[in-house]
Structure 1
Amino acid sequence: MNLPNTLTLLRFFFIPLYLFLYFSEIPGRIYWAFGVLLLAGLTDVIDGYLARRNKQVTQLGIMLDPLADKLMMLAVFLSLLISQRISLWAALAIFARDLGMIFGSAFFHFRGKKTVPANLLGKLTTFLFYVALFLLFFDYPNAENFLWFVIALSFVTFFIYLFQFKMLNQRTM
């Protein structure tokens, strides 16, 4: 088990910690929960950087890294839905996209298909989701409108990944 994979596994433990803090009665709970979310995002950046720099990219990491990211985001958006900070429609759009990506990635991975690495647009979308989350957590006006913009961009990104996936796997057949 290398350090990047250990950091990825650590992100799975951040999910229940985030949920505990978000729904707790601890003073400043929103700040603490958002801090855990940011820490999860930071470990995602660090583990990817270390894996590439130290040539420690593994099949386990390729599979678990996006799963940890998607499960964390699903937990965060579920908590925002439960606390009525986002609409049911926004949550459903996010859940549909993320669950589709989780199950689609697993389906193709276990069939030996090559996966498409994150691209610049995907990284920008992730960053903008964090901006949207900040706005939502701290009740900024028009936060959900900004979230809808990011959701739309995430679907564009998703379809670009599908196209890249198809092209990559057609060449290798």
Structure 2
Amino acid sequence: MNLPNLLTLCRFALIPVYIVFYSLGHIKTAFAIVVLAGATDVLDGYLARKRGQITPIGIMLDPLADKCMMVTVVVSLLVTGRIPWEAAVAMLFRDAGMIIGSAFFHFRGKRTVPANTMGKVATVLYYLAFLFVFFDQSLGIAILWSAIGLSFLASFVYIFLFKSINQETQSHDNQG
């Protein structure tokens, strides 16, 4: 087990910690846990690339940890009335599609596509939206909808890239 994968596992462990603090009304601490999870995401990706420790399990678990934390935050914000149900449904639909699609193709031996710039910008927008939503600032919902729109656009790019990379691999395999 390398350090980047250990950091990814820590993100999974932060989910129940977040739930406890949010449920108890410790909003600032809950938000700090979300930020900590985001920081471990950035750090594990950096370390994996810098140290050459990118692993198949890391490629699978890293986005899953991110999606699980994101879904947890969205559900908690929805249940407490901080975000509209339409935004939560859009986010959960997109994330569920990404998780199911990634798992389906991963277990069929298809190559996956790493995060692109658009997806990373959408993630930053989500964190910014969460900052405003957690602290009851009206701009938060507008930023959230911007992040949702950009994340769907990023998903279309992922689908295109996924299709392209796997067609190239299939063509190469058929020629060899």
Q: Shorter-chain TM-score category?
A: over 0.9
Query: How many angstroms does 1:149 deviate by?
Result: 1.5
- For 1:17-166, list aligned pairs within 5 A: 17-25=17-25, 29-166=26-163
Distance 1:146 1:55 in 2: 35
> Counterpart in 1 of 2:11?
11
Amino acid at match of 2:3: L
Q: Identify the range of structure 1 (146-155 vs 15-24) with the bigger mean alpha-carbon deviation.
A: 146-155
Query: How many angstroms does 1:115 deviate by?
Result: 0.6
Report if aligned partners of 2:21, 2:29 keep a CA contact under 8 Å in 1.
yes
Distance 1:145 1:38 in 2: 20
Amino acid at match of 1:9: L
Report if aligned partners of 2:125, 2:143 keep a CA contact under 8 Å in 1.
no
TM-score by length of 1: 0.96
Distance 1:120 1:145 in 2: 21
Amino acid at match of 1:10: C
Query: How many angstroms does 1:119 deviate by?
Result: 1.2
TM-score by length of 2: 0.95
Matched residues, percent identical? 56
Query: How many angstroms does 1:142 deviate by?
Result: 3.1
Amino acid at match of 1:20: V
Query: How many angstroms does 1:87 deviate by?
Result: 0.9
Alignment RMSD (CA, Å): 0.7
Moved over 6 A (4+): none
Structure 2, unpaired ranges of 5+: 171-176
